[in-house]
Structure 1
Amino acid sequence: MTASPAPHWSAHLPPGVEADLGSGGTLPGAWTARWASEPGAQVIATTAGRIVTAAELEQLTAAAAGRYAAAGLAPGDRIIMSAGPSVELVVAYLAALRYGLTVVPANTAYTAVELANLAADAHPVLAVLDDPGRAPDLPVTTPDLAGLPRPQATPLDRVESADPALIVYTSGTTGRPKGAVLSHANLLASAHAVRLAWRWTPEDRLALALPLFHIHGLGVGLHGTLVAGASLLLVPRFEPAAIATAVEDGATMFFGVPTMYHRLATSPHLDGLRPLRLAVSGSAPLPAELHDAVRERTGQRILERYGMTETVMLVSNPYDGPRRPGTVGLPLPGVSVRLAPGEGGVSEIEVTGPNVFGGYLDRPAATAEAFTADGWFRTGDLGVLDDDGYLLIKGRAKELIITGGYNVYPREVEETLRLHPAVGDVAVAGVPSTEWGETVVAYVVPADAVDTATLEDDLTQWCAGLLAPYKRPRVWRWIDMVPRNALGKVLRHELP
């Protein structure tokens, strides 16, 4: 067993600072303390020019919580939320947590059938949706809580740290999604960890263009902003021009996924990132060449980090120390990481810390399988540690290809192929083979209209110079688009 020890936390903490990851007790406790200390501080801004101060946010969320109470909801009830970013959605969400409700975020792309499946598992009493027609069998309101009664006086901010705050369903890249139950303590610990590690202060403004149904936008972007006492600019839809404008208007931080950075890098707006204090990438691997391209043009050293639905944030490249392309860095404050040797000589990443969830909703068998006998969470990701303790993600355990007895990491082959100018996008997977056990197959999106026979020859020669023979694709398939989820992760089970 290889472990990355706690002393690595020092790389993330300013000199003399202790890592108090429970300050505030609960999410609402931490937020309301910030609001009370600076009632006139700006907390939320919109691209349309709306400004919400701390005092206004306290009043708006208290009134919204009173409307939940008047509608008959009680602390501990669950509500689904699925809508685009807006002040109204943020208010509805914060009010739910202040009142003691448990929020079930849902992808805005979910159909009525998908929401019904989610509801059948989570048993919500209300849905807050952009389109009420998406949940015909549930009591529904819109983010402005239209149709709910006038607010009634009700006690707020009485939740305990162990109480559930979110039930976030896994992205479903394999198997049926499971609801990860995250407590206030889990979410608060992670928010404080990134606040400390990324030097997040009240002077910061985050350009938030991530969806608020995913842990990246919600658990890192929104929670982190509020715990830090900072402000955010809600960007309802990611566009390179919108991010450049946000930075020009004073944003100091931007959190994105690799697809966003790719679009910025291929746009005339990449230089707009220059004034940022911090640019963070996550939710999917950031190609090292994209990291270098952004640095060369803007001076920004994108900070890559690693987290999961079940754990929020785990590991990050340091703010002050070297940010190494291709790695996700060092364990965040409170987090411990170890590598557990598995079959075929690979090592699975296991973690523990106050940010790690307690289990899946109504899935005791899945929960038991997810944890080791001594209580560490099995991430399902494969990794290695370099000599300085930086973590490199090699792929998912279930995605590992074993061909002829050798291990092939799809990510390594994909990154090699993406370097070829004729490859627009690519995904690599293993298919059963009677001869090899599995055969390496490359699903390629050509960058331009090309003769695929010629391209196959070119890519075969390309791989011959860069990859060991057993890693080279033996089968080439040409597709129009690589299937991905909302955060850019490849859905290998949907490959043809």
Structure 2
Amino acid sequence: MYRPIFRLAYQWPNKIAVIDKSGEHTYSSILNSSITLSKVLEQFLHGEIQERVAILCPNDASYVVAQWASWISGQIVVPLSPHHPAAMLEYFINDSDTKVILTTAEFENIVRPLAEQFQQKYLLLEDHVTMNFKPLGKSSFEDNNKIDTLDVDNNISDEEHFDLNAMIIYTSGSTGPPKGVVLTHKNLNAQICSLKEAWGWSNKDVILHALPLNHIHGIVNALMCPLHTGARCVMLPKFNATDVWTWLLAIEQNYGYRVNIFMGVPTMYVKLIENYKKTFEKNDRMVEYVKAVCSQKIRLMISGSAPLPSTLFNQWEQITGHKLLERYGMSEIGMALSNPLNGERKPGFVGQPLPGVNVQIVKDDIILVEGNNTNIKTVNIKKQGEDNSYIGNLQIKGDNVFKEYWRKPESTKKEFNDNGWFKTGDIAEYVDNSFKILGRKSVDIIKTGGYKVSALYVETVMLQNKAVKDIAVVGLPDSTWGQRIGALIVMDEQNLNDVEHKKFKKELKSWAETVLPPYSVPTVMKIVEEVPRNALGKVDKKSLLKNSFSEYLII
């Protein structure tokens, strides 16, 4: 039977839920703050439900309070990132028709100008709730130090809650301007329950959280799963390789608990390995210690949001003894495929369907492979490749799949086939009883640091700058980020010398940082007299890569 995540907190009132920079927060202390804030929201929104509440909070317990308070009062959460430029935040707030922004004093300098510009209201959590916590490691919440838990009296039954819209997550804009992915509580519950079963979550787990809180990976996988289970979540303010190693190895820590799960994107693991080489590698005893602690004390390490190179997979195993568990998902479906918790994990593969998820590979409208976590069958053996593989478009179906794109019925309709299967846009291969993601069909989809970026969208935005006459954007191979964003640019003024070129690129990059998310800003710019095009005016980006960025093709 479905129960909202905030109601589950009554099962573990005095158990520590979140450890952050302030200290330790119990389930009851977080729930009490959430209930108090929900009353403020209800009053502010005049008792209406399903209004949009944007959340811009640090990676700490305040985020959980803002999320739970919104859901207790029946609202739809719109998670924002402090790293997005003002123009992107404006877009999300306008597109979602946000009614109020929940934030903290830390980010008031970001929110206030937006609120003033759009005559938007915002609430500072500090003005309405007092976070009840204990200093980290000083003491624990014992039975004789209980906090009385308030009652949730929101007049919304669990059954009604199940069907309400819960969250709007904005896509990375891989096929144009970002779209708002509407997820219901039913969708989120399906995603969480699937991962709890597949990855063996228990209330004894302690996860180290260093992911952004405006994407599925950080929100569902790394935060909602532990809180849905009665586990503990150690929330770092941001990813920092030294801090992650400190927690993984429990350096100078004696809190009565230690981290046993970590999730990251490939770029994080690259940074962790770089830090390891500087800090530990030259000391043989530390090399042994790192491997012993990680292999004996940490039960699960996961990588996702971008392809994991086999060299990185092998390096991490050599250092920690862990074969990273790679999985596949996206904003619209949560997680869909995963390597096994127990069993062979092959580098480059994303395993099999998760519980409750139906998968099929389709080519030319012919189903080649279909199945779920208990049974996968090949449907059309004639389409089999020479190596007994099946390659085609990956499609997903199940309660995990999102409801719709916010106020974009045509876009929603276009992404589903007539039988209700969601078309992921990714090409997948099924071979040796496992799935492998080969990527998108389009050269215009760039995967950088765990994000999917539309080259066409970046081009469209960059052309708004009057100094840019023409532009072609491409993805360049990069060992740290997966891909970097490169741009071939024609300036409106052609008589600038090399020094002025350098100044122009610096100024253009600074401007781009005000209108594009940080992961979408070109980091490699080349000034040319003309972007090469064919007779039809199209850019052959594969040729452009070879001819204009050849030095970046060998990594």
TM-score range, shorter chain: 0.7 to 0.9
SS at match of 1:340: strand
Distance 2:477 2:87 in 1: 37
Question: Counterpart in 2 of 1:356?
Answer: 401
Distance 2:226 2:187 in 1: 16
The answer to whether the Cα contact below 8 Å between 2:475 and 2:486 also exists between their aligned partners in 1 is no
Distance 1:424 1:153 in 2: 44
1:356 deviates by: 0.2
Distance 1:347 1:32 in 2: 42
The answer to whether the Cα contact below 8 Å between 1:92 and 1:145 also exists between their aligned partners in 2 is no
TM-score (norm 2): 0.67
User: Residues 112-123 of structure 1: matches in 2 within 5 Å?
Assistant: 112-123=86-97
The partner residue of 1:340 within 354, 362, 365 is: 362
Question: Counterpart in 2 of 1:488?
Answer: none
The answer to whether the Cα contact below 8 Å between 1:252 and 1:277 also exists between their aligned partners in 2 is yes
Question: Counterpart in 2 of 1:3?
Answer: none
Question: Counterpart in 1 of 2:436?
Answer: 392
Question: Counterpart in 2 of 1:440?
Answer: 542
Question: Counterpart in 2 of 1:6?
Answer: none
Distance 1:432 1:330 in 2: 42
1:477 deviates by: 4.9
Query: Would you say 1:209 and 2:210 are equivalent positions?
Result: yes
SS at match of 2:42: helix
User: Residues 302-451 of structure 1: matches in 2 within 5 Å?
Assistant: 302-342=324-364, 347-388=392-433, 390-399=434-443, 426=483, 438=540, 440=542
Identity %: 28
The answer to whether the Cα contact below 8 Å between 2:6 and 2:31 also exists between their aligned partners in 1 is no
TM-score (norm 1): 0.75
Change in CA separation of 1:395 and 1:160 when aligned onto 2, cut-off 3 Å: same
Q: Report the residue type matching 1:229 in the other structure.
A: G
The answer to whether the Cα contact below 8 Å between 1:47 and 1:233 also exists between their aligned partners in 2 is no
Change in CA separation of 1:425 and 1:320 when aligned onto 2, cut-off 3 Å: closer
The answer to whether the Cα contact below 8 Å between 1:348 and 1:397 also exists between their aligned partners in 2 is no
Distance 2:209 2:475 in 1: 28
Change in CA separation of 1:371 and 1:476 when aligned onto 2, cut-off 3 Å: same
Query: Would you say 1:93 and 2:49 are equivalent positions?
Result: no
Question: Counterpart in 1 of 2:259?
Answer: 251
TM-superposition CA deviations, 1:62-104 (whole Å, max 9, x none): 1111111232352211111123212112211111112211011
Distance 2:332 2:155 in 1: 27
User: Residues 109-148 of structure 1: matches in 2 within 5 Å?
Assistant: 109-129=83-103, 130-131=107-108, 132-135=111-114, 136=116, 137-141=118-122, 144=125, 146=127
Query: Would you say 1:261 and 2:231 are equivalent positions?
Result: no
Q: Report the residue type matching 1:166 in the other structure.
A: M
1:222 deviates by: 1.3
1:55 deviates by: 1.7
The partner residue of 2:55 within 81, 93, 97 is: 81
SS at match of 1:295: helix
Q: Report the residue type matching 2:120 in the other structure.
A: P
Deviates more, 1:322-331 or 1:62-71: 62-71
TM-superposition CA deviations, 1:213-265 (whole Å, max 9, x none): 11111122111111122110110111111112222151111111111000001
SS at match of 2:161: coil
Change in CA separation of 1:143 and 1:192 when aligned onto 2, cut-off 3 Å: farther
The alignment covers a number of residue pairs equal to 407
The partner residue of 1:63 within 24, 32, 36 is: 36
Question: Counterpart in 2 of 1:295?
Answer: 317
SS at match of 1:168: strand
Pairwise CA RMSD: 3.3
The partner residue of 1:281 within 297, 303, 314 is: 303
The answer to whether the Cα contact below 8 Å between 1:380 and 1:398 also exists between their aligned partners in 2 is no
Distance 1:113 1:365 in 2: 25
Q: Report the residue type matching 1:51 in the other structure.
A: E
The answer to whether the Cα contact below 8 Å between 1:432 and 1:439 also exists between their aligned partners in 2 is no
Query: Would you say 1:226 and 2:219 are equivalent positions?
Result: no
Distance 1:140 1:67 in 2: 13
Distance 2:364 2:36 in 1: 52
1:319 deviates by: 0.2
Query: Where does structure 1 lack aligned partners over 5 or more consecutive residues?
Result: 1-22, 402-413, 444-472, 483-496
Distance 1:167 1:47 in 2: 27
The answer to whether the Cα contact below 8 Å between 1:225 and 1:232 also exists between their aligned partners in 2 is yes
Change in CA separation of 1:432 and 1:376 when aligned onto 2, cut-off 3 Å: farther
Question: Counterpart in 2 of 1:476?
Answer: 549
Distance 1:437 1:138 in 2: 43
TM-superposition CA deviations, 1:288-330 (whole Å, max 9, x none): 1101100011101111111110111111110001111101111
Distance 1:55 1:139 in 2: 32
Question: Counterpart in 2 of 1:462?
Answer: none
The answer to whether the Cα contact below 8 Å between 1:441 and 1:476 also exists between their aligned partners in 2 is no
Change in CA separation of 1:287 and 1:180 when aligned onto 2, cut-off 3 Å: same
TM-superposition CA deviations, 1:89-141 (whole Å, max 9, x none): 22111111122110111222223332222222111110124232241224343
Change in CA separation of 1:426 and 1:212 when aligned onto 2, cut-off 3 Å: closer
Question: Counterpart in 2 of 1:454?
Answer: none
Q: Report the residue type matching 2:268 in the other structure.
A: M
Q: Report the residue type matching 1:260 in the other structure.
A: M
SS at match of 1:318: coil
Change in CA separation of 1:300 and 1:142 when aligned onto 2, cut-off 3 Å: farther
Distance 1:115 1:157 in 2: 31
